[in-house]
Amino acid sequence: MAIPKDARIGLSPEDIPKKWYNLAADLKDLQPMINPQTKEPVKPEELEAIFCKEIIRQEMSTERYIDIPEEVRDNYIYLNRPAPLQRAYRLEKYLKTPAKIYFKREDMSPLGSHKGNTALAQAYYNAEAGIRTLTTETGAGQWGTALAMVSNLFDIDSTVFMVRGSYNQKPHRKTLMHTYGAKVYASPSEYTDYGKKVLKEHPETSGSLGIAISEACELAAKSGGTTKYSLGSVMNHVMLHQTVIGLETMEQMKIGEIEPDYMVACCGGGSNFAGFTFPMMGERLKGKNECQFIGVESEAAPSMTHGEFKYDFGDTAGMTPMILMYTLGSQFIPSPVHAGGLRYHGMSPLVSAACNQGFVKPVAYGQDSTFEAGVIFSRTEGIVPAPESCHAIKGAIDIALECKEKNEEKTIVFCLSGHGYLDLYGYEQYLEGVMKDSSAKF
């Protein structure tokens, strides 16, 4: 039997994109970051305490395409780019659906997730600016792992504040970051003034990404310019770097003659969803397709499905500029779900704007249903997905079952943002029937 031509669609290293795509060039009515003291739009120089100049330039850019430096592009090969696009034949058969299901495999990176796409770029630009120390936050640990690893390529030291709930749930993530040479602190920590303040007021807290961001920003701001902050999601430059995912996917869909009716990805701060969907969304804005973009959140932190579209701080301490986004409030502390990367109180301003303008349909699921989807995927496709990725799989399965009910031959493409081999404790809890409902109550 011949292998179907769409079973796995690959690209050669020469096909790695040469430019990133910037949705800010095509999405209308975008609003600037606001300085909370002056109430005026943030000036580039006001961000220099925590970011290097090229990152700031990209953050504020409305250029449609931005060149990927050759050194970054060359190193993408070692993150297993280009990543394959694969047909989920066995999942389709299990669901008895007429729908076609494809998934983009970001799990095949040596880092285990998509996070290296921007970590590599940010480390490169900081090294070019003479920075030798980076500090950051991490939720489930994928982002901290990515920054820790790529920092070695540019002789950079890294300090990671890991959300305490995930720090306790996922000890091997900490070990992996230590192996790559990073310093790792459970956040809130005793290492920063803000961390000490939170621990004094809430000694039993499981932490949040907002708190960890505050600690990392404090460390950078007080360094006198020797340390810069590196962000794993939310801001425009991170969305930009991740578009290598969607640009590759579009090229692979052309090769496979695939016209997606739905593109589905998980949403925490927005980087995976943006990277996967923005290039195709840009084409939709030009009237070139009618694809629907489904952003899948955790019910523990459903910013788009239950939050308000308003200006808010990106961190808990109020150290960052205010950004227009869907938010549950910067003081919101979500339950310690296993999908630690989906526990942010807000959503990327670009993803938020696209959602507010009707180009993104958000849905939210709880832990049990997403782990159920992850187990189905594991048993059909043989890949154990990250808890975050289970949300995208659940979204894709629900659409496929709807297609079955309506007997519609739709095409679904989702992003497998990472593998779950360091998240087996969560699977164990699900399989033993002891997983807690950690959905936020509204």
Could you tell me which of 238, 272, 275, 273 has the C-alpha nearest to residue 125?
A: 238
Q: What is the 3-state secondary structure (H, E, C) of the chain?
A: CCCCCCCEECCCHHHCCCEEECHHHCCCCCCCCECCCCCCECCHHHHCCCCCHHHHHHHCCCCCEEECCHHHHHHHHHHCCCCCEEECHHHHHHHCCCCEEEEEEHHHCCCCECCHHHHHHHHHHHHHCCCCEEEEEECCCHHHHHHHHHHHHHCCEEEEEEEHHHHHHCHHHHHHHHHCCCEEEEECCCCCHHHHHHHHHCCCCCCCHHHHHHHHHHHHHCCCCCEEECCCCCCHHHHHHHCHHHHHHHHHHHHCCCCCCEEEEECCCCHHHHHHHHHHHHHHHCCCCCCEEEEEEECCCCHHHHCEEEEEECCCCCCCCEEEEEECCCCCCCCCCCCHHHCCCECCHHHHHHHHCCCEEEEEECHHHHHHHHHHHHHHHCCCECHHHHHHHHHHHHHHHHHHHHCCCCEEEEEECEECCCCHHHHHHHHCCCCCCCCCCC
Confidence at residue 127, expressed as pLDDT on a 0 to 100 scale: 97
Whole-model pTM: value is 0.95
Per-residue model confidence as pLDDT tens for the chain (442 residues): 577 888 999 999 999 999 999 999 999 999 999 999 999 999 999 999 899 999 999 999 999 999 999 999 999 999 999 999 999 999 999 999 999 999 999 999 999 999 999 999 999 999 999 999 999 999 888 999 999 999 999 999 999 999 998 898 888 999 999 999 999 999 999 999 999 999 999 999 988 888 998 999 999 989 888 999 999 999 999 999 999 999 999 999 999 999 999 999 999 999 999 999 999 999 999 999 999 999 999 999 999 999 999 999 998 888 889 999 999 999 998 888 888 889 899 999 999 999 999 999 999 999 999 999 999 999 999 999 999 999 999 999 999 999 999 999 999 999 999 999 999 999 999 999 998 877 877 7
- Would you give the distance in Å from CA 137 to the centre of its chain? 13
Could you tell me which of 262, 435, 266, 229 has the C-alpha nearest to residue 344?
A: 266
Contact (CB, 8 A) for 321 and 33: yes
Confidence at residue 373, expressed as pLDDT on a 0 to 100 scale: 98
Confidence at residue 165, expressed as pLDDT on a 0 to 100 scale: 87
Neighbouring C-beta atoms of residue 39, cutoff 10 Å: 9
Confidence at residue 260, expressed as pLDDT on a 0 to 100 scale: 98
Dihedral angle at the C-alpha atoms of 374, 378, 381, 386, nearest 10 degrees? 60
- Per-residue CA distances from 364 to 294, 344, 383, 416 (Å): 10, 14, 23, 17
Confidence at residue 334, expressed as pLDDT on a 0 to 100 scale: 85
